[in-house]
Structure 1
Amino acid sequence: MRSRRHAIAISALAVTLIAAPLTACGTDSDGESASSSTVSTTPLNPFEQQRYDGVTALLDQLSATLSSGDRAGLAELIDDAAPAEFRRRMEAIAADFAGPDEPIKGSGPLKLKEFRYRVAPQNGPEHLLDETFVAQLEDAGASDTWVSPVYLNYALGGASSPGLDEPTVTLNESLTFARYGDDWKVVGEGGLAPDPTPETVLQSNPKAPEMGPWEFPGLAATDVSTSGGTSTVLFYRGSQKAATTASRILPASVNDVTKFWGEDWVRKAAVISTATDEQFAGLTRTEPGTTSAAAAATVFAMVDKQNKQVIGQRIVLTPAARSLPAASLAVVLRHELVHVAARLVTAENVPLWLTEGVPEYVGRKGTYREFVDAAPELAAAVAAGDVPKALPSDGSFSVTSDDARLAYQSAWSFAAFVADAFGEGKLKDMYVNVAKGGDTATTEAAIKDALGVDKAKVVSDWQAWLTKQAR
């Protein structure tokens, strides 16, 4: 079974007495809606087959040309009528794969394990170009035009080949093509043709486009040996320092997460260090500027439960992460790596006090001396007699909420309490049990099954522990 969705967990920066961030993650699932139309299985007629074969040959050429960084060869595949913006986009992608004009020590251009465009099934009514634009193409010698959905199948690789060994990621695009004699050229994106889908449907399913890291200029890669195999750290011009630090601390961070979680996870990762808000927003499908206080995010495209693998999982560092010292960045990486490790066993309807508290516990472990260092707002509240009456609700974790910092600190403290009172093994057991999802009764039963006591007792003991810690 494949569950296709796009999720993000955002780690927010927070200043503490030891200058390390108390990471704060929010989770947002953006599931893809199933189409109400069906994909035709009717055999192609000779005209359609010829069109399909011609465009497939063009896409094979385009894939090889882009991934090899052949900027000169690219010009032969793009129609003269292509919009300047589309042409610049294609040229920028080729330039990224060619590598920077001035090589950066210890890194190189991204060498993809796989990069291939292919024609996707037509789902719904065909998009047709404006008659005026078609006439313009015909005047230039075009005998046919076609707007078709395409798949871009890729796997990252790294600075060297094979680099990171990851399952294939599929991005969905739409492109416009024109035929000249026996050859086809790319005219631009599918948006050149009006979308016949009713406007009400489009508005009810807003989505930012999926994109690969090559969509932004100045991309470079470096490989890191981690316990599960080769990891890769990608970065853009201006974010090299954070990438260098991340590369240095990534192996130990993976090992630290393994000490808690065990070896039943990939024990490697793809990390992308961004230099601009636009890069971070594009790679995480968020609005620019909405995560200005964030340090990192984890994203993924699909969970393949049948093959027990997560597809397209990335840790994306924000531009703000560039200012973090190594110790603080290590907290962020450990936190995000717990999300990577736990993704396969984490359902979508799991309470955030669990999915953020446990990663925060692992991320922060060993970085503070006193309770107040790790949770200053919570310590102050408890000392003033305002002990949390319950575990924080999901709504209190919103990064725009005034209660967010207190919610994250409370979640961390509950995980820290469970580890202190029952042991880290039981903390992981509680995560795995509760992470299966379910209603309130199911969650309470999962806690009791893991810890041997009911939720009310655990929460009561946590409250007493907080009072003692905050003295």
Structure 2
Amino acid sequence: MAGVRRTVVLMLCGGLVAVLLGGCGGAGEGGGDGGGGGPRDATRAIADLLRQRSAAVRDGDEAAYLRTVDPHSGPYRQRQRTVFRNLDALPLAAWTLRLDDPARVTVPATAERTTADVRLAYRLRGYDTGDATAGQRLEFVRRDSRWYVAGPAPGSRPQPWDQGPLTVVRGTHSLVLGAGRPEASLRGIAAVADRAVPEVSAAWGGTWARRVVVLVPASQAAMGELLGEGPTAYAGVAAVTTGRHRDRTPADRVVVNPEAYDTLGTLGRRIVLTHETVHVATRADTSPATPLWLSEGFADWVAFRGTGRDPREGAPELARAVAAGRLPDSLPADADFARPTDGDGDRVAEAYGEAWLAARMVADEWTPDDLVALYRAVGGAESREKAVGPALRTELGVSLTEFTARWRTYLDHELG
């Protein structure tokens, strides 16, 4: 999943805190008719196998789905029963698997086993305005001239439905998918997300779906698997958002780290999910030109609105730095938001505080509408160099230098 945004628990606690080979596959008792005539025939057979598998998911046909699975794969075949039932519980509007690059799939005529990259594209009815996509690498096996899916290749990233029995909870504005989590816990997350969506809509407006899909894996390690990272990569991170820049039909997902999220209180959970929901809502207007101080600052401004938390409570690490005479000279760089390898999160927390107060200053000293207009203007620029300065001049009537000076004065006033 590309474009991951992180919410750092350390800061919050301190401050409080694939794609389209459509159509029905051919009938038959296996996947892929033939495959014994040479490399091209084998490639066509595997492509046909993926069409059959896709059609079985769309049609809700478990028997047809299992006919695409290696009959001798043992435990994998049994897991695929669970995968199919997980998928059958989802409100799927579209589902398609295809070979990622058929021209690069070369299967020797005598091969009985091969691997290939595949691309999944799917859409959740009522939640996605565009396709969610994911790449996988699968193993295929030929038995009696027919090809079957034999399992994931080493290193292939799982999807939520691959991680065990899935519980699906539908909220008013949310869909929560949890693997290995109590249903009551998932309903609690749905309730928080349901509150976040209208709060974000009130602040942002726009034409976003006004729904949010939340994935809750069983553990922090399982979260790392979903996102292609190690088991401790998201230690101390309550949630992330996945998505693609400049995609006018986004299909973002909020992914919750249950081990970090469960340590938060009621207010912390509200702030985390509201923050992440902002990233979902603003995705179509966020681009590589958008600096993290603006995207993260805006998300925190929305998340903290109405909570009653003042800057010293919401950004204690930054408050301590300012009180000690360490007033920042410039707006935080993107690198300041990266989690440090030495485990010292104070600079990250300070960066989030600096970004939040930059957005808060615009809403206070100009208007909330001006803050939204600034965000949209920056995201619509061709490059970072052509984004912030011109947008500040157009929307707020100040240069970047003037804006920075006012922000430093604002920090000193609020925290000094």
Q: TM-score, normalised by structure 1?
A: 0.73
Mark the CA change 1:372 to 1:434 in structure 2 (over 3 Å): closer, same or farther.
same
Aligned to 2:82: 95
Aligned to 1:273: 216
Shift of 1:424: 0.6
Aligned to 1:126: 106
Shift of 1:150: 3.2
SS where residue 234 of structure 1 aligns? strand
Corresponding position: 1:178 with 2:142: yes
Mark the CA change 1:47 to 1:342 in structure 2 (over 3 Å): closer, same or farther.
same
Mark the CA change 1:151 to 1:72 in structure 2 (over 3 Å): closer, same or farther.
closer
Gaps of 5+ in 2: 18-34
CA contact (8 A) 1:74 1:91 kept: no
CA contact (8 A) 1:128 1:147 kept: no
Give the one of 110, 114, 118 matched to 1:150: 118
Give the one of 310, 315, 323 matched to 2:250: 310
- State the AA in 2 paired with 1:414: A
CA contact (8 A) 2:250 2:284 kept: yes
CA distance in 2, matches of 1:45, 1:452: 70
Please give the root-mean-square deviation of Cα atoms over the aligned residues, in Å: 3.4
CA distance in 2, matches of 1:235, 1:428: 33
Aligned to 1:224: 171
SS where residue 309 of structure 1 aligns? coil
Corresponding position: 1:213 with 2:160: yes
CA distance in 1, matches of 2:321, 2:153: 55
CA contact (8 A) 1:221 1:234 kept: yes
How much identity, in percent, do the aligned residues show?
25
User: Equivalent residues in 2 for 1:48-197 (5 A)?
Assistant: 51=42, 54-63=45-54, 68=60, 70=62, 74=66, 77-80=69-72, 82=73, 87-98=74-85, 109-124=89-104, 126=106, 134=111, 147-155=115-123, 157=124, 162=125, 164-172=127-135, 173-181=137-145, 183-189=146-152
CA contact (8 A) 2:7 2:237 kept: yes
Shift of 1:176: 1.8
Shift of 1:354: 1.0
CA contact (8 A) 1:69 1:98 kept: no
Give the one of 240, 245, 263 matched to 1:323: 263
CA contact (8 A) 1:122 1:149 kept: no
Q: Deviations over 1:272-313 (max 9, x none)?
A: 12221222112222332022110100012x4574xx2114x1
Mark the CA change 1:303 to 1:349 in structure 2 (over 3 Å): closer, same or farther.
closer
Give the one of 220, 225, 237 matched to 1:282: 225
Aligned to 1:28: none
Shift of 1:95: 1.1
Mark the CA change 1:314 to 1:12 in structure 2 (over 3 Å): closer, same or farther.
same
Gaps of 5+ in 1: 22-43, 101-107, 138-144, 192-207
Aligned to 2:406: 461
- State the AA in 2 paired with 1:316: V
Alignment coverage as a number of residue pairs: 391
Mark the CA change 1:354 to 1:289 in structure 2 (over 3 Å): closer, same or farther.
same
Q: Deviations over 1:97-139 (max 9, x none)?
A: 4369xxxxxxx9435333343345424362559x8xx5xx5xx
CA distance in 2, matches of 1:45, 1:58: 14
Mark the CA change 1:358 to 1:165 in structure 2 (over 3 Å): closer, same or farther.
closer
Mark the CA change 1:378 to 1:384 in structure 2 (over 3 Å): closer, same or farther.
same
Q: Deviations over 1:192-234 (max 9, x none)?
A: xxxxxxxxxxxxxxxx6444211201311112233xxxx3111
Corresponding position: 1:434 with 2:378: yes
Give the one of 358, 365, 373 matched to 1:414: 358
CA distance in 1, matches of 2:303, 2:75: 41
SS where residue 10 of structure 1 aligns? strand
CA distance in 2, matches of 1:66, 1:396: 44
Q: TM-score, normalised by structure 2?
A: 0.81
CA distance in 2, matches of 1:220, 1:382: 46
- State the AA in 1 paired with 2:134: L
